[in-house]
Every structure is written in structure tokens, then in C-alpha cells.
Amino acid sequence: MKTIRVKTPAKINLTLEVLNKRNDGFHNIKSIMQAINLYDYLNVSAEDAVENEIKLTGTSDSIPYNEKNLVWKAAEKYFAKTGLKNKKITVHIEKNIPVEAGLAGGSTNAAGMFFALNEIFDTHLSESEMNELCASLGSDLNFCLTGGTALCTGRGEHIEPLPAPELDVSLIKPLGFGISAKEAYTKFSHLEDKSVPGNTDKMAALLKSGKFDKTLLYNSLEAAVINDFPELLKIKSEITGSMMSGSGPAFFTLEKAAKISESQNFLVINGLHTVTDGVKVC
């Protein structure tokens, strides 16, 4: 039996500008994604079997441990791509990244699955082949695989690495609900004003020159969902400089610690910071 343990980082969107809708139903975006030191862990083992088999377990009651899980789908795609047969894959997911929060928890786990299987087996897919697999399963996987800081375009699958800023990060997520990307983008489609300020290009240029300006933080989807959820309005009003990440409902602030009234209704994770890597063996 071969085993490996990998850690998969959460991401925040320093900027997220939603552009035009594509023919495939997705939207083109322009975003600066940033990995942070909040990790899920995948404990993966592989052994010979009569036929291909996948078994998932984990610490969270909020995710499925069957074919609906992106980790399961990643394993199936890896089998199909490589032609591997008669293998049993067992995965235990230690979940720390909040679910349906805009932090790429599912995507980073799936990227971790591709990475782990590529390490365990002798197939050793190339970087381009790994990126093709990631793009086939979701929009954030390519970034999660490489991590750090990157300008992400297309659906998010085209990655241009950027110099990483050293930033403190705190997360604030309302308890009791999540927002799917589909829901957020549907609400975005109903906005009258879909214009973007061009903050992504401005921030990318600053990062390349070794600078950072937190006034450029921006998220097109925030305006689409915030008025439907009093909890989000509360975060925005009480925590100066807070910004929603991805499709939400998690917000981040570039401070060491965040405080909010009625804190029993929110998950607050303080003391985080930006990191320069992505999925890796631990």
C-alpha cells in the first residue's frame, strides 16, 4: 500500500471582476487569487484491487462522501486519463475550510486529489496535463494547485503568477448557510450595472512593482448577494475594509484580528496570512 498526506490551501479573491457570459454558460472573469494558510488535509492511500474503487471519509458533516464530492470526481478523471485499473483509493479528508463560503474548499481538495495520485503512481502526468484535468473539473482548481498569488482569467483556469504580498488575513463567515457559485452568478445576472472598475489590472501592476493597495480590493459578486442577506450587510458595516471572497458568504479583512457583535452567529478565523505555495506534501 502506498500512502501520502497533502495539504490544500484556501483562497481569497483580492479582486474578482465578472466580465461577459460565455457560450458554455460560465462567465469570463478577471481575478487576483491569493492562497492563505488555512488548510484541509487529504490522507490518501492506494492499493491493488479487483477493480477500481474509491472510498471517502472525513471529519465534516457538511460534505458528501460519494460520487458528488469533487475529490471522488477527481479520482475518476485521473483513472480515465491514465488508464489505471484495479486500484482502490482511500481518502480521509480533514476539513478546516468552511464549505460553500467562496474559499475554494471543494476545488482545493480536488486539486489535492490530482496531485496526490500523480505522486503515488508512476504515471507522472505533465504540468500541462495536470492543468487540463483541473480545468475540466472546475474554475478554481488550476489556481489551487499552484497557489501563491496569481492573475486568473477565462473561467479562472488561466493562471499568471504574480509576486506575493505579505498580508495578515482574518475571515468572517455567517453560520447556518452557504452560497453556491451558481446562486451568486444567477443573482449577478439580475444586476442592472455590471460594469467593473479595472481594479484587477491596477493591482496586478502594483504587485509586479512590489507594492500593494488595499483600496483596490473588489468583488463583482458582492453587490449581487449582499442585500439578500442581513448577515452580510452586518459584516460589511461593522468591519471596515472587509470584502467578500468569491461567491461568498465568507468575507475577509487584511487585519490580524476581526471582531463582530453577536459573534455567536459568525465563524471568525483570525491570525491567518498569505502564502506562496499551493497543494503540497506535508
Per-residue pLDDT tens over the stretch 200-227: 999 999 999 999 999 999 999 999 999 9
Domain boundary pick from 140, 162, 184: 162
Q: Mean of the pLDDT values across residues 9-30?
A: 92
* pLDDT of the residue at 178: 93
pLDDT at 20: 85
11 is catalytic: yes
Domain boundary among 125, 143, 162: 162
Q: Is the pLDDT of residue 255 over 90?
A: yes
Same domain? 143 vs 8: yes
The reply to whether 156 and 213 lie within a common domain is no
Q: What is each CA distance from 31 to 14, 44, 149, 217, 278, in whole angstroms?
A: 7, 31, 10, 10, 17
What per-residue confidence (pLDDT) applies to 172? 98
Return the CATH number at 213: 3.30.70.890
Q: Are residues 37 and 153 in the same domain?
A: yes
195 and 158 belong to one structural domain = no
Residues 26 and 106 in one domain: yes
In a domain, 244, yes or no: yes
Band of the pLDDT at 149, cuts 50, 70, 90? very high
Residues 81 and 118 in one domain: yes
Q: Is 121 helix (H, G, I), strand (E, B) or coil?
A: coil
Question: What percent of the chain is helix, strand and coil (3-state, nearest 5)?
Answer: 30, 35, 35
Catalytic residue among 11, 77, 87, 187: 11
Look at residue 261 in the predicted model and tell me its pLDDT: 97
277 is catalytic: no
Domain boundary among the residues 162, 181, 216 is at 162
Read off the CATH number of the domain in which 74 is found: 3.30.230.10
For the cut 90, the answer to whether the pLDDT of residue 163 exceeds it is yes
Peptide bond into 249 cis (omega under 30): yes
pLDDT value of position 23: 85
Mean pLDDT of the chain: 96
Residue in the block written with cell 486500484: 87
Domain count, the chain: 2
Q: Which range of residues forms the domain containing residue 212?
A: 168-273
The residue-averaged pLDDT of 237-242 equals 96
| Nearest CA-CA partner of 43 in 7, 18, 15 | 7
The mean per-residue pLDDT over the stretch 182-193 comes to 92
Same structural domain, 48 and 131? yes
Do residue 149 and residue 187 come from a single domain?
Answer: no
Is 269 a residue whose pLDDT tops 90? Answer: yes
The active-site residue out of 7, 40, 73, 140 is 140
**What would the mean pLDDT of 28-33 be, rounded to a whole number?**
96
Residue 146 has a pLDDT of 97
Same domain, 7 and 123: yes
Residue listed under C-alpha cell 483556469: 157
Q: Residues 243, 251: contact at Cβ < 8 Å? A: yes
Residue 196 CA to residue 266 CA, distance in Å, equals: 30
Same domain (yes/no): 142, 217? no
Q: Rounded mean pLDDT of 42-59?
A: 97
Confidence of residue 179 (pLDDT cuts 50, 70, 90): very high
Strand partners, 15: 32, 218
Q: CA–CA separation, 162 vs 31, rounded Å? A: 12
Residue 67 pLDDT greater than 90, yes or no: yes
Give residue 26's pLDDT: 84
What is the average pLDDT across 245-263? 97
